[in-house]
């Protein structure tokens, strides 16, 4: 990489650290294995068409990426503000309980087979309809087959740390 590219990359990463994102755990299960990973690169694509669609980006070295490709299914679990420990376990920031990331939270199967955290803020059961590697990440687009809506406030990530939204009466 040239000095110019290195500088652009560093400025890009610094600028992107300013974006607040919902923290999610993306899970999958099936013939290619049961895996999960913490992500912040996730968004809706469209609510219209035959079914709503979601997009998630996962690093190519994550064990979750080939498992999602092989299983053809994934579940996006939005975390609540009190679930940072789950995020840390699935991101490998802290050792998972007993060495197993899925031991960090109770899970139930979504209709498509992907594990859903028992008590997320929301969850989306997705079937892979598009997968492409872009740079160091796989970009997955999934057709949503089922949605779970929980209660609480989102766990956010920005400025390289977890953030919690202020209640409406404190936000000024």
Q: Mind listing the pLDDT tens digit for each residue in 96-121? A: 777 788 888 899 999 999 999 999 99
Output phi, psi for 170, to 5 deg: -105, -5
Q: What distance in Å separates the CA atoms of residue 50 and residue 62, rounded to the nearest whole number? A: 30
Asked whether residue 12 carries a pLDDT value surpassing 70, the answer given is yes
pLDDT in tens, 125-148: 999 999 999 999 999 999 999 999
Output phi, psi for 116, to 5 deg: -115, 135
* Residue 121 CA: distances (Å) to CA of 17, 55, 82: 23, 18, 10
* Residue 139 CA: distances (Å) to CA of 1, 11, 59: 24, 23, 9
pLDDT in tens, 48-78: 989 999 999 999 999 999 999 999 999 999 9
pTM for this model (two decimals): 0.89
Domain 21-162 CATH class label = mainly beta
């Amino acid at each position: 990489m040239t000095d110019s590219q290195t500088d652009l990359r560093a400025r890009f990463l610094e600028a992107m650290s300013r974006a607040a994102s919902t923290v999610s755990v993306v899970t999958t299960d099936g013939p290619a294995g049961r895996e999960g990973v913490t992500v912040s690169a996730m968004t809706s694509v469209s609510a219209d068409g035959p079914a709503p669609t979601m997009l998630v980006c996962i690093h190519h070295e994550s064990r979750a990426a080939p498992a999602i490709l092989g299983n053809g299914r994934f579940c996006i679990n939005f975390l609540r503000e009190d679930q940072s420990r789950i995020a840390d376990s699935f991101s490998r920031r802290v050792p998972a309980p007993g060495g197993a990331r899925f031991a960090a939270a109770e899970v139930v199967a979504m209709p498509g087979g992907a594990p859903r955290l028992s008590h997320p803020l929301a969850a989306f059961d997705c079937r892979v309809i598009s997968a492409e590697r872009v740079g160091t990440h796989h970009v997955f687009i999934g057709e949503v087959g089922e949605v779970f809506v929980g209660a609480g406030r989102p766990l956010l990530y920005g400025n390289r740390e977890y953030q919690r939204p202020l209640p409406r009466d404190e936000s000024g």
